[in-house]
Structure 1
Amino acid sequence: MVVDFVAVKSQISKNQIQQVLKLLFEEQCTVPFIARYRKEVTGNLDETQIRLVEELYNEYNETEKRRKFILETLEKMEVLTPELARIVTKAETLMELEDIYAPYKSKKKTKGMIARENGLEPLAVEIIETAKTIKQLEQAFVPTEKVATWEEALEGAKHIIIEKVVHGENVKSGLRELYKSEAMFTSALKKDANQITDYLKFKDYFEFAEPVKNLYSPKASHRFLAMRRGMLLKVLKVSIDVDDKRAIELAQKTVVMRGREQGCLPTIMDCVSKAYKASLHTSVELEIMAELRKIAEDASIEVFGHNLKSLLLAPYLGQKTIMGIDPGVRTGCKVVVINQHGKLLVDFVIYPHEPKREVEKSAMILEKVIEKFMVEYIAIGSGTYGRETLAFVEDNIGVVKENKVRATLVSEAGASVYSASEMAIEEFPDKDVTVRGAVSIARRFQDPLAELVKIDPKAIGVGQYQHDMNQSKLQKSLTNVVEDCVNYVGVDLNTASYQLLSYISGIGASLAKGISEYRNKHGKFKNRQELLNVGRFSEKIFQQSAGFLRIYGGDNILDSTFIHPERFADIAKWCADNQVSVNSLVENSEIQQKFKGDKLLRAKLGEHTFNDIFKALTAPVQDPRTVFKSTDFAKNVRTINDLIVGNWYVGVVNNITNFGAFVDIGIKESGLVHISQLADKFIENPLDVVSVGQEVKVRVVEIDFDRKRIAMSCKSGGNSNSTSTSKASNPESSNQGSGKKTGDNSKRIVDDSPAKNNPFAKLKNLKL
């Protein structure tokens, strides 16, 4: 059953699913290990597909666990009839199960329950099914000890009918479909909300309406999350509005018995109407809200993951001597120099800005330090006064002006979080937080992956409404991204920090520290087998991790490759049979071609594994990341006032959302390239054409100087939405073309058609 469920949901073959589940749960393998070293077994499934199988497997088990609990509980309550058991067994989702279970889990006695205890269930059933009228039923009424009058009996029966409608199997499902297809999601400014700080951030949603069905698209995630945040801050009142008459009529149809006369139909219809107004509308509204939140969160988490992956796998500078500068004004700029291995060599402070403005003195100090330590690159934090500090360096440092040393801005998002962390204090106990921050800036320029793994991914600054999401779900997703990136690149066993080692397949934080301590005590590892000498490093952990840990200049040249030790014997045998050394195989291209042509070995190892081994043997550099290439921003553009509408500029994508990409062009403000302006052709997803860290050429389309916003285009032609400059723009002007008006309430309705989107429309209330 579980395999069938996963197969339908994932569109992955049953055989592949069975193999993945066996590897995950029987053999206790990690996702990175399975993806890289068990391609023949899984049919070359990647990490994303393997994790999808795992998630669906867990979802199925969670549903079955809940089903079992409900059946057992209903049986203990002595209410489990064969028909009820059939309905519970047939339910496919957790939501359906909860709908069925809802009438039975209330600890508080409802009016319907009391009426049942008073023996009025038969009357309620008769009202629904009989051809008799209410008058005829009244005439046949016989008072009891608990129910003395007909009025009491009728009132109690109505409460039972209302509860039957509320918990009816088909009523909610019908209403859900109606809400999804016809309801409007509305947002309005709450009374006295103008007393709340920053309430104007939600200005777009003070009078807003959009079809609910639109919000089921991942592209609309930012709008839903923006309105939800406004609701949580008590700025906005959000609701789902539907034609109540249509909804009540739909609900009434579910209790009308076709082909049978119902003499009490007016009473039944009244009960349905009351059930809708008292419970059904609110219940379905909350369920729709929960669904929309999940869709929006999943979409945002996916984009966050893609952005994080691009940052972690950004081109690396490698083993160069770097000067890192953490800009400051009153307290000065903190400067550090790290060697090619990231070791701190020196730290000091300069004051090139106000109030001291020691420009000449600061420049002289920097030039002496650059010369002394043979600095090759200067990394400057991109936060407050980052651009001004870059300008100071470019204008006053001779080797920079001569392009002998390159200076560049580096994102410092998360550097302050790291600098105050326990791991930073542990490494630099005697240094100020600003020095630790400058070291982090320099190191992330040298090797983004090695440094960024020390920082909580949520602090890196490429998420959207991340604090409003399910934090455990977000954390799990981002941890998976970091794990995949670290294992994709692999690490140098003899130089990697324990933070980096902790993400390697099968290792974890505790064992990573053990490896680091062993290395400090015994010196460099000479071969991978030596890992088994580390405390608690089992054969299973060795199997899962060894391929991702590299040793350069060790006993076995294969330890410097991604080839797993479990394949060393096959390679050694091939070398012996062909009378060549393993070193020759790695270093000689002619021998490698001979190896490539061995069909018997290819058949034995499998196509995927053989190709991976050949690639590892021939790759001159085992690191799959590209080498860093600096971006040359326009030298004559330092503020938004220097931009010219219509001109092209070189920039770097620094964030991606569902509606477009933000681009850094070397000034304080990043510009927005709306999804409709990212390419000459139509695209569904910005991630299809751009990634964080990618260099792009953009044309300025519109500038809003009041709100410091820049609209850009990557299109080759001149067919963007507008080409204007606004010195004092109307705050509402950026809505033009992006919405429609609804009747008298003048609520804006969003239209996602690319041709109708103003470049600023999606930017206005975004908070990253």
Structure 2
Amino acid sequence: MARENEEQLSALAQPVHQQLKQYRVQQIQAVLALMDEGNTVPFIARYRKERTGSLDEVAIREIEDEATRLSKLNKRRQDVLKAITEQQALTPQLKRHLEQAVTLQQVEDLYLPFKKKRQTKATVAIQRGLKPLAQWLLTFPQGDLDDRAHQYVDATRDLPDLEAVWAGVHEILAETFSEQAAFREWIRQYTWQHGELTSKLKRGAADRDEQQVYATYYDFSQRLNQVPPYRVLAINRGEREKVLSVGIDVESTSILQYGHFRLVGQHHGPAVAKVEAAFADAYKRFLGPAIERELRRNLTEQADQHAIQVFGHNLYHLLMQAPLKGKVVMGFDPAYRTGCKLAIMDANGRFLAKQVIYPHKPANAKQRAAAAPIFKDLLTQYHVEMIAIGNGTASRESEEFVSDILKTLDHPVYYVLVNEAGASVYSASANARAEFADLHVEERSAVSIGRRLQDPLAELVKIDPKAVGVGQYQHDVPEKALDEQLDRVIETAVNQVGVNVNTASPELLTHISGLTATTAKNIVTYRNANGAFASRKDLQQVPRLGPKAYQQSVGFLRIIAGQDALDNTDIHPESYPVARKLLAELAVDQTAIGTPKLQQELAALNQQKWAATLGIGQATLADIIAGLSKPGRDLRDTMPAPLLRQDVLTMADLKPGMELQGTVRNVVDFGAFVDIGVKQDGLVHISQLADHYVSDPSTEVTIGDVVTVWVLSVDENRQRIQLTMRTDGHD
């Protein structure tokens, strides 16, 4: 890296540190330098721990985002300085204020008086020569003001009388006051602290909200700085649908008093009234509406960001659900008229067979009678161990059908209700058509549902993450920002787990550090043409997979039962010499990797001493030891296993106080939705998540958690189930 570039990164690290003081300057410098060298976040987090002080992906992203924000701020600051300089209006004080600005809003406030603007009443008044009179008025002269104003009466300038003159002065002052950065900042902060977000039912809009979705907000107000993000998004949606009228209410007396203090102070005389009137008008016409727009935009941006974070958090835990390894699985896509589509996958996810059965009306009696024998024969013929039932249309009836048959078997088979959101999206995609050209769309859905149980991560990455339904208001937030966050989440999850390069799909490989859609496709093409990769070194033969891409990706690509046992670990090839030296020092060869004896020996090592002996950092040594102890390790193995069922519940079976186990399907600001085995997920309100106060549901539960709940209430008419996880008085 060039010295000039090092100096630029060092200069950027200091202001980043001011905003992210939890990180040392040296850590920030290291992250910025590593990213400037073209390293990816997963690679830095996993393989450059000594340089960053073991920062994880979240910390590295925070540093990256703050550096990006500051770069944009600095660029805008330089553009503004240049523009004001060209107007020969840059004073030392203004320059200092611009250099001290820490947000884009502050820079824009300072630039506002110098922006080129369209023709206004104030600019017209200035063109007519009234600016000197406005400036003179701010000196608060004594005596008759009209004596001076008479000098500006000029019919040729459209100033026929004193009224026209003073009207022009009023406009100049009002616009000037509205462009003062200090005024805008104070009013913005005051409004944020004391203003209220209000919403009312729009006149004549009741017909647009027949189901009263927005009834809570028909007459609503709450302090601006206390409105939760989900409420902001709900109100915004009601406004967009023209159901609600929304605004910000703030008591203006204190604001007008502030204007008097800043503009008038101890002055007195006839000019005071005119200055106060100009400030009041500036607030009413310019400052108030502008600040309201800014604050509502800020509220929305914060709410959007929060919703995106909630979605990302949920998606991560959805992707990291424990896979059901080594089981033959049947995917069961329920339906009425078109029949239930079945697909059987072997223990490795390879498609074996398909079938369509018609166990539900409106199928005729003969079709319904034939469904059970066909289904049972498939279970027996392919030794099916698990059934994944999609939770969409007809899932309730399909669950009963499956449960009844399982009771007749002489060996245990279990079923799991699988969230099928997005399965139809994938089934109709070009990728699905390429993989299963001979299958109908519905049959591909059955495959997808089954594979979601076998390996949620590998299957869900094929689907647009917005279609999996694990957030709130995800369709209301900016699509670009949402996509960026979800891409990050998927990248983190995929690289934390790692992939089997000999079975991974192009969609899964695309998310591996350093790979692109092209190189991922080339890996699969090379694999199909030349057979399974025998070693990580073979990846260097893949077209367009250059040295940098190889370095960034190879540690996350596993080769099971290959030529080198180290290739099935997350040890990077650059550390293979050290790993082999460590094995040699322990007098074992690669066949000992993963054995209990080696695990015990490695656990007993003095890592500080051995790191010095091997000439590496302790963090790297710890990762090498972990890789040698558990080759092919999968973080997801520590996650809760899917909740297996053999019997079925209905809403009619539920009684208050009943204890059940369920799987968390979605986590939102106001609680969590739990699948308890009936068609409708139950809601555990935030107040019912724990015996103690909970401010954020995600601190208590995550998607995929298996939890114990008690039924609070059941409303069959509205299809609503209220649950609790509290142990103090649930009955």
The answer to whether structure 1 residue 448 and structure 2 residue 456 are counterparts is yes
Tell me which residue corresponds to 2:694. Answer: 683
Q: Residue in 2 aligned with 1:623?
A: 634
Residue matched to 1:548:
556
In structure 2, the residue matched to 1:203 is 215
Give the distance between the partners of 1:641 and 1:6, measured in 2 at CA. Answer: 58
Q: Which residue is equivalent to 1:319?
A: 326
- 2:444 aligns with 436
Which SS does the other structure have where 2:475 is aligned? helix
Query: 1:533-572 alignment to 2 at 5 Å?
Result: 533-572=541-580
Query: Quick one: which of 132, 135, 138 aligns to 1:128?
Result: 138
Deviation at 1:575, TM superposition (A): 3.6
Equivalent of 2:299 in 292, 297, 306 = 292
**2: distance between equivalents of 1:579 and 1:383?**
57
Q: Please, which moves more after superposition, 260-269 or 413-422?
A: 260-269
| Equivalent position of 1:170 in the other structure | 182
Displacement of 1:398 = 4.8
TM-score by length of 1: 0.89
- Measured after TM superposition, the shift of residue 438 of structure 1 is 0.8
Distance, in Å, in 2 between the alignment partners of 1:368 and 1:139 is 102
Partner of 1:22: 33
1:222 to 224, 230, 237: 230
Paired residue secondary structure (1:345): strand
| Corresponding letter in the other structure for 1:571 | A
Equivalent residues in 2 for 1:70-85, closer than 5 Å: 70-85=80-95
Deviation for aligned residue 1:199: 5.8
What is the aligned partner in structure 2 of residue 45 from structure 1? 55
CA distance in 1, matches of 2:285, 2:211: 32
Q: Which amino acid aligns with 2:570?
A: F
Counterpart code for 2:383: M
Q: 1:706 to 1:253 in 2, by over 3 A?
A: farther
Q: For 1:402-443, what per-residue CA distance to the aligned partner results, in whole angstroms no more than 9, with x for missing partners? A: 561111211100101111111111112232110111110011
CA distance in 1, matches of 2:525, 2:149: 90
C-alpha distance in 2 between matches for 1:117 and 1:81 = 24
Give distance in 1, aligned partners of 2:425 and 2:177: 54
Alpha carbons 2:666, 2:673 under 8 Å: kept: yes
Alignment match of 1:501 (pick from 487, 509, 520):
509
Deviations 1:463-512 (A, max 9, x none): 10011111111111111010000000000011111111110000021110
Distance 1:100 1:496, change over 3 A: same
For the pair 1:649 / 2:660, whether they are aligned, the reply is yes
* Percent identical: 38
Classify 1:547/1:262 alpha carbon distance in 2 versus 1 (closer, same or farther; 3 Å): farther
Secondary structure of 2:666's aligned partner: strand
Match of residue 122 from structure 2: 112
Measured at CA, do residues 665 and 574 of structure 1 come closer, stay the same or move farther in structure 2, by a change above 3 Å?
closer
C-alpha change, 1:585 and 1:344, in structure 2 (3 Å) is: closer
TM-score of the aligned structures, taking structure 2 as reference length: 0.93
Shift of 1:642: 2.0
Is 1:712 paired with 2:712?
A: no
Any unmatched runs of 5+ in structure 1? 724-768
Structure 1 stretch 150-159 or stretch 233-242: which is displaced more?
150-159
Rate the CA distance shift 1:683–1:591 in 2: closer, same or farther, 3 A: closer
Cα 1:467/1:599, change in 2 over 3 Å: closer
Answer yes or no: is 1:666 the counterpart of 2:673. no
Q: Greater CA deviation, 423-432 or 627-636? A: 627-636
Contact 2:558 2:632 in 1 (8 A): no
Whether the aligned pair in 2 keeps the contact of 1:312 and 1:449 (CA below 8 Å) is yes
Residues 133, 264 of structure 1: 8 Å contact kept = no
After superposition, the C-alpha distances for 1:689-717 in whole angstroms (9 at most, x for unaligned) are 11111111111112333322222111112
Change (3 A) 1:173 1:707: same
Does the 8 A contact of 2:403 with 2:646 survive in 1?
no
Question: Could you tell me how far 1:198 is from its partner in structure 2?
Answer: 5.1
1:302 is aligned to 2:312: no
Structure 2 CA distance for aligned equivalents of residues 658 and 694 of structure 1: 17
Q: 1:585 to 1:342 in 2, by over 3 A?
A: closer
Q: Is the 8 A contact 2:565 2:591 kept in 1?
A: yes
Distance across 1 between alignment mates of 2:442 and 2:510: 26
| Aligned twin of 1:739 | none
Of 216, 224, 227 in structure 2, the residue corresponding to residue 212 of structure 1 is 224
* Counterpart secondary structure, 1:141: helix
Deviation of 1:637 after TM superposition, in Å, equals: 2.4
2:376 alignment counterpart = 367
Q: Which residue of 1 aligns with 2:358?
A: 351
The amino acid of 1:208's aligned partner reads F
Match of 1:98 among 98, 103, 108: 108
Residues 577 and 310 (structure 1 numbering): CA distance in 2 closer, same or farther, change over 3 Å? closer
Partner residue, 1:726? none
Q: Check if 1:3 corresponds to 2:10.
A: no
Q: Which of 54, 58, 65 is matched with 1:55 structurally?
A: 65
CA shift in 2, pair 1:650/1:586, >3 Å: closer
The one-letter amino acid paired with 1:294 is E
1:611 is the counterpart of 2:619: no
* Contact 1:585–1:592 (CA under 8 A) maintained in structure 2: no
Contact 1:492-1:550 at 8 Å conserved across structures: yes
Matches for 1:361-760 after TM superposition, within 5 Å: 361-398=370-407, 404-577=412-585, 579-587=587-595, 589-590=597-598, 593=601, 596-597=605-606, 599-603=608-612, 604-619=615-630, 621-626=632-637, 629-631=641-643, 635=647, 637-638=649-650, 640-718=651-729
SS of 1:122's equivalent in the other structure is: helix
| TM superposition shift of 1:117 | 2.4
C-alpha distance after superposition, 1:641-673 (max 9, x if no partner): 221012211111111011211111111221111
Equivalent residue in structure 2 for 1:269, among 247, 271, 276:
276
Other-structure match for 1:740:
none
